[in-house]
Chain A
């Protein structure tokens, strides 16, 4: 039985097989059609809808939006509003400062994980970093609210130790929001830096010390430049959601608005002014997009400059080594 079948079905000739592959390739790009349709329907179109709303106005006390007269007035309202500007500036400051502090805390942790720990304990620590990250964002923030409460245990301990005269007045301040965002986005900084450091070829550091470099020059000339992709990814991953954060300031910052996310939300939820809310949301999104594009560009430029600088430095090292 097997013999005649083997003759009847020879391996497909080369030409036919190639054609088959070509046909497969054509089909393969259509595999992306469902996600494209989905994103069109639930990302592009809804965005188009709020873009449209942002050119309208709030018609009456109970109406949310009206597009019978189109104008840029809502954007003028956004940019002319001192409160919006103040909160936007505050948000930007919290985001930049938060991303910087997160980086300073995360880098040594990631370095410790990638360089000092053994591969086995490294995976355990990785899971330990992920567990708080996978705990509900809102619940984690509530944990801080409980701890930092005026009548919470930290307040009581500090008072018992005599370090504090009255109750702890930390919750519902900008500093509390700052602490909350640094905490909430820390894993998003640790992980990408860890991934780049883990893939780093540590023999380069040995080469540096063989060539007479010390630990500091090794870090500045080898480790730091090579971990730039991770740092860049981490800064993006922290900065972007931080700019739009709404939960952390609501829980730790109290009722007075501290961040733009709260302003956007309040226009839709309480003020019922969808036109103005849309204009704010679009302004926020365009701003974040601009930051992402510009900083990616700066980062690429920085890496290029660092590479060029290293190329000049290396021969000097050789001479020093001798």
Chain B
């Protein structure tokens, strides 16, 4: 108390009066923050708890059982949509990473281009277009391409999902990579040029390794976005190649079984694993190149 008194006499303002509300404010923020986190976790915990439901209906708790998990990993009708989801997510991650990385480099490096600003506007438009609008516009277009024009590849369920899911993700990857390239030290490439490296070598040996973390985290982000996609998928998917969310969506209309919660819990564990990998990749990259670790937040785009 005495030390506090000395401090207050120095600053000229009574410390207790000044500090007390600040401390109360801090406590209030802690409470608010923790309640916020509990709110965010609440339905997730509900799903995890109900995934151990022994009953036939997910919504009505009957007793504890591990049967839903055994069913989830053994029933082909549950595993097939998860397989479709993973294949579509892999394709979407690759497509978005390739398109987005190239575009991100172009946007960050090209100064005199007339059409690139238009592309930025277009990418922005892609990001603000509601998914339902993309869904209803892609459905007739895929039918036209596949049935009327004879591009049979677009009758394939996975191809449709990959193309549809990459719309939003490739825009996100573009912006993530652009930010990374813009933050690069141009002297590194100049040094390579001084040492006689041609543009292609410079790109492969210097630029690409430096932007790889952004491209990889962008790809993983596209992967999880694709796994999550429901609205677009439910419109464009083809019978017999439904993705996991489409399968769940269809079950909502009939009966939800506990297996669905069990499978979702397993997928959540997988997502956490991916998230940890992304975090590690970014932390390692920022340590190596001295970049800021705010990249973790840029994962959202």
Contact = CB atoms under 8 A, between A and B. Distances in A.
Contacts of A236: 128
A153 B45 CA distance: 13
A44 B135 CA distance: 13
B137 A50 contact: yes
A195 B109 contact: no
B163 interface: yes
Nearest to B301: A237
B70 interface: no
A82 interface: no
A281 B133 contact: yes
Contacts of A153: 61
B30 interface: yes
A183 B39 contact: yes
A92 interface: no
B50 A46 contact: no
A28 B115 CA distance: 13
**In which size bucket is the chain A interface?**
35 or more
B109 A28 contact: yes
Contacts of B204: none
A149 B133 contact: no
A168 interface: no
Contacts of B9: none
A47 B122 CA distance: 12
Given A30-B106, A268-B235, A281 B60 contact: no
B255 to A, nearest CB: 13
Given A138-B249, A139-B47, A36 B119 contact: yes
Contacts of B130: 240-241, 243-245, 261, 284-285, 288
A25 interface: yes
B136 A50 contact: yes
Contacts of A50: 133, 136-137, 140
B204 to A, nearest CB: 13
Contacts of B39: 105, 183, 186
A215 interface: yes
Interface string B233-267: 00100000000110011001000100001001001
**B-side interface mostly:** helix
B133 A186 contact: no
A126 B136 contact: no
Interface string A28-62: 11111011101100111111011001000000000
A251 to B, nearest CB: 7
Contacts of B134: 43, 46
Given A43-B167, A127-B279, A138-B230, A143 B40 contact: no
A203 interface: no
Contacts of B50: 146
Nearest to A145: B59
Contact of B58 (A105, A128, A132, A146): A146
A319 to B, nearest CB: 17
A211 interface: no
Interface stretch (A15-23, A73-81, A158-166, A299-307): A15-23
Nearest to B125: A289
Contact of A268 (B30, B126, B136, B261): B136
Given A36-B119, A45-B141, A281-B133, A129 B40 contact: yes
B235 A25 contact: no
A188 B297 CA distance: 11
Contacts of B150: none
B133 A139 contact: no
A113 interface: yes
Contacts of B128: 236, 240, 288-289, 292
Q: Which residue among B105, B131, B133, B170 has the maximum number of chain A CB atoms within 10 Å of its CB?
A: B133
A278 B137 CA distance: 8
B29 interface: yes
A2 interface: no
13 contacts: A20-B193, A29-B113, A29-B116, A34-B103, A36-B122, A46-B134, A112-B32, A116-B30, A125-B37, A188-B300, A195-B294, A274-B136, A281-B132
Given A105-B36, A134-B228, A135-B47, 14 more contacts: A23-B199, A31-B106, A32-B119, A46-B138, A49-B137, A116-B33, A128-B41, A134-B275, A183-B40, A186-B39, A192-B300, A195-B297, A264-B133, A265-B136
Interface of B: 21-22, 25-26, 29-30, 32-33, 36-37, 39-47, 50, 58-61, 98-100, 102-103, 105-107, 109-113, 115-116, 119, 122-123, 125-126, 128-141, 144, 163-164, 166-167, 170, 174, 193-196, 198-199, 202, 224, 227-228, 230-231, 235, 244-245, 248-249, 252, 256, 261, 264, 267-268, 271-272, 275-276, 279, 293-294, 296-300
- Closest 5 pairs between A and B when the two form their complex, measured CB to CB: A244-B130, A143-B43, A112-B33, A32-B106, A46-B141
